[in-house]
Amino acid sequence: MRLQGKIALVTGAGSGIGAETARRMAAQGAIVACTDRRGDTAEATAAQIAAAGGTAQGMTLDVTSTESIAAAVARVVAGHGRLDILVNNAGVTIVGGVAELTEAQWDLELDVNLKSVFRCAKAVWGQMQAQGGGVILNTASIAGITAIPSDAAYCTSKAGVVMLTKCMAIDGAGAKIRVNCVCPGFVETPMIQGYFADQPDPEAARRHAANMHPLGRLGRPTDIADAFVYLASDEASWVTGTALVVDGGLISGLPPG
């Protein structure tokens, strides 16, 4: 059990990468607070964990609300006395270049994807300092490293997550707060399905995305969840400030053939 007895809070745990990360962490012994803007989906993930023999609770958390975040963190700490792992996973994607995006869409993308990481990390920082350390993990993207056409706000938000991760790692090192992010390629989640649906030819977009990865397939939520489990564990005790790319080789170059 790589996370035995650790207390974890996962945002966006109602589906996709967040749900699988919550399940994998619980399977490795963590007690998991599954949170999502839709409380019913968070509770469903917690129920799946309980059915598999793990320990979890579901709760509503709006990552755009400082008050909602503070309430969730306070509830976890009141129940367990500490919070060891925060996974900032909640996010949205809005397709469009600068010419197409509205100002409201730009603000929403950066609020949910980037400012929420700041809000949640700030909410747990004092607790992690007081207890002698902790781990903050963020879902970034290969879109934060390399540009994607017609995805200006998403790419910008994820590039911000990569840099914020590095800044927090430096600031938290003295307090034994490790901070890392994972940069997935295209992963089979409701978010990416929505992205494909917004394309002129969704099926062609899906095939093209799969073929972009040298390993020949889209990612699975488990691929990313396993990376988060590693970064949360003591196996990564000397890893901080990194942006771990898990992308089937996507940004390494063109696939063979």
CATH code of the domain containing 69: 3.40.50.720
pLDDT by residue (tens digit) across 110-144? 999 999 999 999 999 999 999 999 999 999 999 99
85 bridge partner residues: 8, 135
222/198: higher pLDDT: 222
* CA gap 41, 26 in Å, rounded: 17
**Mean pLDDT rounded to a whole number for the chain:** 96
Q: Are 62 and 68 in contact (CB under 8 A)?
A: yes
Q: Retrieve residue 240's tokens.
A: 């901080």
**With bands split at pLDDT 50, 70 and 90, how would you rate the model's confidence at 240?**
very high
* CA gap 215, 256 in Å, rounded: 9
Whether 212 is in a domain gets the answer no
Q: How many domains does the chain have?
A: 1
Q: What is the pLDDT of residue 195?
A: 78
Q: What percent of the chain has pLDDT over 70?
A: 98
Q: What is the pLDDT of residue 191?
A: 81
Whole-Å CA distances, 71 to 37, 42, 43, 59, 78: 13, 16, 17, 10, 10
pTM score above 0.75: yes
Whether 27 is in a domain gets the answer yes
Handedness of CA 136, 138, 142, 143 (dihedral sign): negative
Identified catalytic residue from 154, 195, 196, 228: 154
Whether 203 is in a domain gets the answer no
Q: What is the pLDDT of residue 52?
A: 98
**With bands split at pLDDT 50, 70 and 90, how would you rate the model's confidence at 256?**
low
Q: Are 42 and 15 in contact (CB under 8 A)?
A: no
Question: Does the annotation count 230 as an active-site position?
Answer: no
* CA gap 233, 5 in Å, rounded: 12
**With bands split at pLDDT 50, 70 and 90, how would you rate the model's confidence at 254?**
low
Q: Is residue 81 classed exposed, middle or buried when 0-12, 13-18 and 19+ CB atoms within 10 A define those classes?
A: exposed
Q: What is the pLDDT of residue 198?
A: 81
Whether 80 is in a domain gets the answer yes
Whether 184 is in a domain gets the answer yes
Structural domain boundaries enclosing 36: 7-189+220-246
Whether 1 is in a domain gets the answer no
Q: What is the pLDDT of residue 211?
A: 92
Average pLDDT over residues 9-34: 98
Average pLDDT over residues 165-169: 99
Q: Are 155 and 94 in contact (CB under 8 A)?
A: no
Whether 90 is in a domain gets the answer yes
Whether 31 is in a domain gets the answer yes
Average pLDDT over residues 19-33: 98
Q: What is the pLDDT of residue 196?
A: 86
